[in-house]
């Protein structure tokens, strides 16, 4: 009996290591959820969040302004109203400086970036408003904080009209289409030092969409560790732009090719008929990433992309597959009508996340795992089957116990869902866990951060208008278990000595 008790005790002590042998995560705890309805600002939503270490606050941007939350308990510190300047799309924080990307009330007019002091939560001293390109959609600081990069999406007010009656379809240029670009702001002087665009830039790769009635529209930006290169998703074009930050010009635009859904491990559900049925149809997916993040392995840069898929805002470049002769389960599948023809269907999105090398070449793709995992957990939204599945959208990368972890937000599930993957080895990424939060819906922005030696992940959920904070605890180092065992051994020895002294 004593031997059994000892064996059970040792097994219990080591079971976390055995259970999580392939995971650096010991536990994940929901700390709090804040409902932005409580801020009292009509129209405020939760889209993009950023953490300020100086004040231990989380800033959440959403259309009419920014809600500043206490990171410790999720209480509202202040609502910052930006509605007088336009709609706020994104924010970023570095060294106590918060930058807001605000589009004009006239979507084709130039937008602005405003700078706030995170300590006072007021406009910063000196120059605090900088004019940038039309529809600034996202912005990010370089690692050293010297530059701020702004993705100017430049969406047209009216898209180009169809040319002729061809299959695949083709659209001419829009009458008013502000050039998609990236504004590069010198943070020290608060001045735009360059606005690189895409005219004349070399195009490589395949399946770049250039006949959609709009030009390249930057969506999201990631910067390498040295701050010398930026990688810009051109979502609707199915491409990324590689930006040289030494010359402040684009090196090239890389087409991301397609994903073959007929291959093993790439199955999809194509029909929203209340029956989830994954098949392997003769359909290809255009990756069309939204969020992108960069990390390094052995001095080499890798990119993580959330392959959401997207069409132009008026959906003029999409159709049901039946328009090119598809029938049965494929009839209502949403396809790109600028790429598809009879028997050759192209859908939007990869229903996955990918890892690319620094030249845009595919290293890893999660295949059909995200859709199937959502179905397994009972949160797969079958009504999105003919669209883009779970629609991976946001990405955040963090380090835990010496491993590199990617958090991937799934926009279209029945509950807020964020997949966690170990991406330490880019070619062999592995699934760790799925964070599913009751009451939250449609994660838009993710950010991981450290505070007081602990790791946290904040999730801004657009549809539920909530922000949730999780803490993530790593598996204790093996030496900690050795110390624990040694301590138990000493306790056992002490007990034996006490027993011997009673005799």
- In the numeric block, which tokens belong to residue 403? 């491993």
Residues 6+ positions from 258 with CB-CB distance below 8 Å: 206, 207, 284, 285, 286, 287, 346
Would you state the pLDDT for residue 16? 24
For residue 55, being part of any structural domain is answered with no
Would you state the pLDDT for residue 477? 79
Q: What percent of the chain has pLDDT over 70?
A: 91
Question: For residue range 28-58, what is the model confidence (pLDDT) as tens digits?
Answer: 999 999 999 999 999 999 999 999 999 999 9
For residue 432, being part of any structural domain is answered with no
Would you state the pLDDT for residue 367? 98
Question: For residue range 363-418, what is the model confidence (pLDDT) as tens digits?
Answer: 999 999 999 999 999 999 999 999 999 999 999 999 999 999 999 999 999 999 99
Would you state the pLDDT for residue 479? 60
CB-CB contact of 335 with 417 (8 Å): no
Would you state the pLDDT for residue 142? 98
| Residue in the structure block whose two tokens are 């805002």 | 313
**Quick check: 491 pLDDT over 60?**
no
Question: For residue range 185-205, what is the model confidence (pLDDT) as tens digits?
Answer: 999 999 999 999 999 999 999
* Band (486; pLDDT cuts 50, 70, 90): low
Cα angle 69-393-68, degrees, rounded to a multiple of 5: 10
Residues 6+ positions from 9 with CB-CB distance below 8 Å: 488
- In the numeric block, which tokens belong to residue 363? 């290293």
Q: What is the largest CA-CA distance in the chain?
A: 103
**Quick check: 492 pLDDT over 80?**
no
> In the predicted model, what is the mean pLDDT of the chain?
92
If residue 130 lies in a helix (H) or strand (E), which one and from where to where?
A: strand 129-134
For residue 132, being part of any structural domain is answered with yes
Helices (H), 20-168: none
- In the numeric block, which tokens belong to residue 468? 């949730």
CA nearest to 413, candidates 386, 447, 436:
436
Question: For residue range 20-33, what is the model confidence (pLDDT) as tens digits?
Answer: 338 999 999 999 99
Q: Would you give the end-to-end CA distance of the chain in angstroms?
A: 22
For residue 234, being part of any structural domain is answered with yes
For residue 82, being part of any structural domain is answered with no
For residue 451, being part of any structural domain is answered with no
- In the numeric block, which tokens belong to residue 422? 């170990």
User: DSSP letters of 282-349?
Assistant: SEEEE-----EEEEEETTEEEEEEEE-----TT-TTEEEGGGGT--GGGTT-EEETTT-BTTBEEEE-
* Band (1; pLDDT cuts 50, 70, 90): very low
How many folded domains does the chain comprise? 1
Would you state the pLDDT for residue 157? 92
CATH code for the domain in which residue 186 is found: 2.130.10.10
For residue 81, being part of any structural domain is answered with no
CB-CB contact of 335 with 270 (8 Å): no
> How big, in percent rounded to 5, are the helix, strand and coil portions of the chain?
15, 45, 40
Q: Is 103 in a helix, a strand, or coil?
A: strand
For 148, the domain range is 93-254
| C-alpha to C-alpha distance for 365 and 278, rounded to whole angstroms | 18
């Amino acid at each position: 009996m004593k031997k059994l008790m000892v064996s059970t005790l040792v097994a219990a002590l080591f079971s976390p290591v055995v259970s999580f042998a392939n995971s650096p995560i010991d536990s994940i705890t929901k700390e709090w959820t804040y409902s932005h309805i409580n801020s009292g600002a009509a129209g405020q939503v939760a889209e993009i969040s950023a953490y300020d270490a100086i004040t231990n606050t989380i800033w959440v941007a959403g259309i009419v302004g920014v809600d500043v939350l206490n990171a410790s308990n999720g209480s509202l510190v202040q609502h910052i109203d930006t509605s007088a300047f336009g709609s706020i799309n994104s924010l970023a924080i570095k060294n106590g400086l918060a930058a807001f990307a605000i589009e004009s009330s006239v979507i084709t007019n130039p937008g602005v970036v405003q700078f706030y002091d995170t300590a006072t939560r007021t406009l910063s001293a000196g120059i605090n408003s900088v004019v940038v390109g039309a529809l600034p959609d996202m912005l990010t600081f370089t690692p050293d904080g010297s530059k701020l990069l702004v993705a100017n999406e430049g969406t047209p007010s009216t898209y180009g009209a169809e040319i002729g009656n061809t299959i695949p379809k083709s659209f001419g240029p829009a009458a008013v289409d502000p050039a998609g670009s990236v504004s590069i702001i010198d943070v020290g002087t608060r001045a735009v030092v360059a606005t690189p665009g895409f005219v004349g830039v070399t195009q490589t790769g395949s399946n770049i969409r250039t006949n959609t009635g709009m030009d390249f529209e930057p969506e999201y930006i990631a910067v390498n560790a040295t701050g010398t290169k930026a990688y810009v998703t051109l979502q609707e074009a199915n491409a990324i732009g590689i930006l040289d930050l030494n010359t402040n010009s684009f090196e090239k635009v890389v087409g991301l090719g397609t994903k073959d859904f007929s291959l093993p491990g790439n199955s999809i559900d194509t029909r929203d008929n209340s029956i989830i049925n994954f098949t392997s149809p003769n359909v290809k997916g255009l990756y069309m990433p939204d969020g992108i993040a960069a990390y390094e392995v052995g001095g080499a840069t890798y990119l993580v992309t959330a392959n959401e898929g997207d069409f132009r805002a008026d959906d003029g470049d999409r159709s049901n597959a039946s328009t090119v002769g598809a029938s049965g389960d494929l009839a209502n599948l949403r396809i790109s009508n600028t790429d598809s023809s009879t028997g050759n269907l192209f859908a939007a999105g990869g229903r996955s996340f990918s890892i690319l090398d620094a030249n845009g070449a595919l290293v890893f793709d999660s295949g059909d795992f995200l859709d199937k995992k959502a179905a397994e957990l009972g949160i797969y939204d079958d009504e999105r089957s003919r669209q883009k599945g779970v629609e991976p959208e946001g990405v955040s990368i963090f380090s835990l116990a010496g491993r590199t972890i990617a958090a991937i937000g799934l926009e279209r599930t029945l509950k807020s869902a964020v997949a966690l993957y170990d991406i330490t080895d880019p070619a062999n990424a592995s699934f760790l866990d799925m964070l599913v939060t009751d009451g939250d819906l449609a994660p838009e922005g993710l950010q991981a951060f450290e505070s007081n030696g602990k790791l946290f992940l904040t999730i801004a959920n657009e549809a539920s208008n909530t922000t949730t904070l999780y803490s993530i605890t790593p598996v204790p180092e093996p030496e900690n278990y050795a110390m624990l065992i040694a301590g138990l051994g000493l306790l056992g020895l002490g007990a034996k000595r006490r027993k011997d002294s009673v005799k």
